[in-house]
Structure 1
Amino acid sequence: MTSDTALNAQPSDDDAPSILTSFTDGVARLTLNNPRRKNAITLDMAAAIEQFCDQVAADETIGAVVVDAAGSYFCSGADTRILASASADPASPKSVVQLSAVYKAFVRVGSLPVPTVGVVVGGAVGAGLNLALAVDLLVATPDAVLDSGFLARGIHPGGGHITLLNRAVGRANTIALAACGQSLTGEEAVAQGLAYAAAPIEDIPAIVDGLTAPAARDPELTRRVMSSVRLELGPPAVTWDSAIEIERGTQMWSMARKGQNWSSRGPGRS
């Protein structure tokens, strides 16, 4: 599936798959496919996301992941039917299991061994913002709305929402979003460090390709770089001295792989 297809897909039939996936030239793509409900995350979708993550983790030919959505809205959060069921008896084992399944899917995306690029069109709210915050690099349309949303629904944030926000935008902005009901546009998200880029929808595929293609050319090296990224930056982040030691062994591996061929950027290429 191309970037254009994923961004402009039409609403799917009721029996259509809950997510769409593709694996092309070292890039894996996960497309939420519940556009009639603004891609609200169902339990089936959460399970499918985990299966996708399992496949990416196991396939060492994959060097990058793209997460986007069918239709005109990225993700409106957890399916309200899950939330309504949980509200009926929040302490029940069923409620805990269902909400945990949704949040676990986002943790899996955030723990993948390759760079992840998310594409937000329209908006992301609540648990949908958690998914957007789980990716490594977020690209959004300038007018996309990134909204905590929990306060407006009269419920406390979940899924580590506050920590995810703090990692992206710091304490003050986290309080503004989570406790004071503020939101950010795609352009504002870039200015605050939450998003990597904001661009018109027609320009997004080129930005995504520019990020994923280099990572996908050498998946083995990319995965080792991302392992160091996750170890060094955390949370919690490590000291500079510790970072030197974390990087030392892998850098030696990459140099041995390259050998004396310093006229080339890639391993074993002239």
Structure 2
Amino acid sequence: MTAPSPILVDVDGGIARLTLNNPRRKNAITQEMAGLMGAFCDRVHEDTSIGAVIVDAEGTYFCSGADTRDLASASDDPASPEAVARISAVYQAFVRVGQLPVPTVSLVAGGAVGAGLNLALATDLMIVTPDAVLDSGFLARGIHPGGGHLALLGRSVGYAQAVALAVLGTTLSGEEALRRGLAWAAVERESLLKAATELLGKAAADPELARRIKASATLEIGPPAVPWAAAVELERGVQMWSMGRKGRAGWDHKPA
């Protein structure tokens, strides 16, 4: 009997969905999963009919981070090329998600810890359950953060709150994450997918424009951000492209 894939992929109505499928280990990311995540990102880049991405997980827990068996193995000789390659493969998968050309939303139920929090932070927006636990986790494991964890936290919640989470080891519930601007919305578990699908509806309906706007957002907002005057120049050409696509007659129709 063939084992189920540890990464599930679905594309429907302009939305591609990547689902972690390792629930017995709280969806810890293995080497195989990292490779499949990279293949998913390749597909999104190549398939221009995709206008948005959802990242979620099977079971009751979003992601507990990198597989501890890989971490333990790498700790035997952390400077070895093999150890560096194993850990880098996991982090590179998250970087690929963060570089997707379409708007992305992660759905966090249960918890996101360590590299699992990196994955959630790699998406543009996070929707959480009120009781979800967001935990840097590295300090508790006695290791330094990795995968750009501090930069991801810093751009999401600022220096002081990044220090509280990563350096001091504090945790946030989903409700607290919403209040502090780390999450976009907090809804019950059964409403996560519906909330994300509704949020991404307009982008999914016009993938070409969504990709253009996302590219401009990445260039202008960063990191690093660009000055306002430069943003005006960056936007001008793409806005004129969109106006040409719309045409004069297009202004006779009000958006839904």
Letter matched to residue 137 of structure 1: L
Contact 2:178–2:186 under 8 Å retained in 1: yes
**1-structure distance, mates of 2:133, 2:254:** 40
Contact 2:107–2:193 under 8 Å retained in 1: no
TM-score, normalised by the number of residues in structure 2: 0.97
Change in 2 beyond 3 A, CA 1:186/1:14: farther
Letter matched to residue 37 of structure 1: R
1:90 pairs with 78, 81, 87, which one? 78
The reply to whether residue 221 of structure 1 matches residue 209 of structure 2 is yes
Matched residue, 1:159? 147
The alignment yields a C-alpha RMSD, in angstroms, of 1.3
Specify every segment of 5 or more residues in structure 2 that has no aligned partner in the other structure, as ranges. Answer: none
Question: Offset of 1:63 from its aligned partner?
Answer: 0.2
Question: Offset of 1:194 from its aligned partner?
Answer: 0.9
CA displacement, residues 202-240 of structure 1 (integer Å, 9 cap, x when unaligned): 222221111111111010000000000000011000010
The reply to whether residue 168 of structure 1 matches residue 148 of structure 2 is no
**1-structure distance, mates of 2:198, 2:175:** 20
Alignment of 1:40-189 (within 5 A): 40-189=28-177
Question: Offset of 1:191 from its aligned partner?
Answer: 1.1
1:23 pairs with 11, 16, 19, which one? 11
| Percent identity between the two aligned chains | 62
Matched residue, 1:234? 222
Matched residue, 1:264? 253
**2-structure distance, mates of 1:254, 1:237:** 23
**2-structure distance, mates of 1:242, 1:49:** 34
Question: Offset of 1:14 from its aligned partner?
Answer: 8.3
The alignment partner of 1:184 has SS state of: strand
Letter matched to residue 113 of structure 2: V
**1-structure distance, mates of 2:31, 2:243:** 45
**1-structure distance, mates of 2:137, 2:254:** 45
The reply to whether residue 253 of structure 1 matches residue 241 of structure 2 is yes
Alignment of 1:31-42 (within 5 A): 31-42=19-30
TM-score, normalised by the number of residues in structure 1: 0.92
Specify every segment of 5 or more residues in structure 1 that has no aligned partner in the other structure, as ranges. Answer: 1-12
Matched residue, 1:5? none
Moved over 3 A (4+): none
Question: Offset of 1:263 from its aligned partner?
Answer: 2.1
Matched residue, 1:6? none
**1-structure distance, mates of 2:11, 2:159:** 38
Question: Offset of 1:265 from its aligned partner?
Answer: 5.1
Contact 2:6–2:22 under 8 Å retained in 1: yes
